Amino acid sequence: MESISLNTQKLVSLPKITWMESLAKRFVLKFLRGLKKGHLVLEDQGQVFVFGQTLKEADIVAHIHVEDASAYIDLLLHGTVGSGEAYIRKSWTTPDLVNVIRFFVINIDEMNAMDNNRPWIMRAVTALGHQLSPNTKEGSKKNIAAHYDLGNDFFNVFLDPTMMYSAAIFDNKSDSLEVASLNKLQIICRKLQLKPEDHLLEIGTGWGGMAIYAASNYGCKVTTTTISMQQYRHTLKRVEEAGLSEKITVLLQDYRDLTGKYDKLVSIEMIEAVGHEFYATYFAKCSSLLKDHGLMLIQAITIPDQRFEYAKNSVDFIKKYIFPGGCLPSIQEISRCLSKHTDMLMVHMEDIGKHYADTLAIWADRFNKNVDSVKAQGFDEQFCRMWEFYLNYCEGGFRERVIGTGQFLFAKPAVRSL
């Protein structure tokens, strides 16, 4: 459905658009007419277009204000990545970015078709950029540094005092982000059945929140590894300040170079940076590092099995601008790698995707309220809009369940009681 209304007073001062922008606009509007789910209102220089279901029928209602006609070219030539780029440049705005994301997510089949119908040269250039970010040992360092080495002060802006940059778990609606982060850490430790005599290996240190929590509350020894120099230095300082230097060993080392045997292993939202071509290596290495009675828990952002093959070979906004080299596994792919490359069994799985949507909403709110602090660190307006788009993009994905988050517990064959 589409309706058009004109505001003649506004039309008097309309900026001229190029023939290319006019042509792109025609194609984009034609595409939007084909979207059947949700309700979208698009305003452009006094014109109002309405697409999808009626307000009464729709679960999702979204509004877009086109500020510059170049946005149509961005969407037509660069697909969903282009829509994000146009938002960064303020070519379009919205009072509710999450709902805009959700509107397009519920029409994901049509969006994927549009991306696939882009000129092949555009798709090739985008794909090449991702292929130039391989997750070799050297490539992984560069990919991780591109995101996590933005500065500890930057992440302090929106994370809670635990500095956990992963899905929290809200036991109650009234839980603060810090309480929810601590809930998550407690749940992980309980699932791993941590004991004082255990030696826990953590792959993906973050800023030390998991290692410090485990050592402080369960009395176990922890070895944790990262390939981010900023995180390594920050965690060393936190461990020393907590008086846990004898309990916690912090390594600046790739997981592929780890040696030794451990009672338990944890990896919180690190597998997303492994790359699908290295899943087998990752799981085989983790299995080899565990003792015969060992348990391993990973918390992972996942993609539905039906979309894994498509997603691993495509490049979205996140892969291009936020996590170069990143790839989300599917549950089926995790199970396949586990059975083919390890002797471990999956003994427990829990979906916590809704909690991630709530976590991201809080992060985005904190980021927006402290955007001046971000700019004071030297980041410009476009960088801030890029992060705003990223946080809302992810929240919308979790709300509509096109991405999920799970906690997966694996056990070595000798484990008898859980």
CA 112 to chain centre: 19
Phi, psi of 292 (to 5 degrees): -60, -30
The residue whose two tokens read 């004898």 is: 246
* CA atoms of 324 and 315, how far apart (whole Å): 10
Residue pair 58/39 in contact (Cβ under 8 Å)? The answer is yes
* CA atoms of 168 and 164, how far apart (whole Å): 8
Sequence-distant (6+) residues with CB within 8 A of 134 are: 275, 277, 325
* CA atoms of 179 and 98, how far apart (whole Å): 25
252 - beta bridge partners? 226
* CA atoms of 414 and 154, how far apart (whole Å): 44
C-alpha distances out from residue 377 to 154, 251, 384, 387, Å: 8, 28, 11, 14
Active-site positions? 394
The structure tokens listed for 118 are 């882009």
The residue whose two tokens read 């980021």 is: 367
Residues present in the chain in total: 418
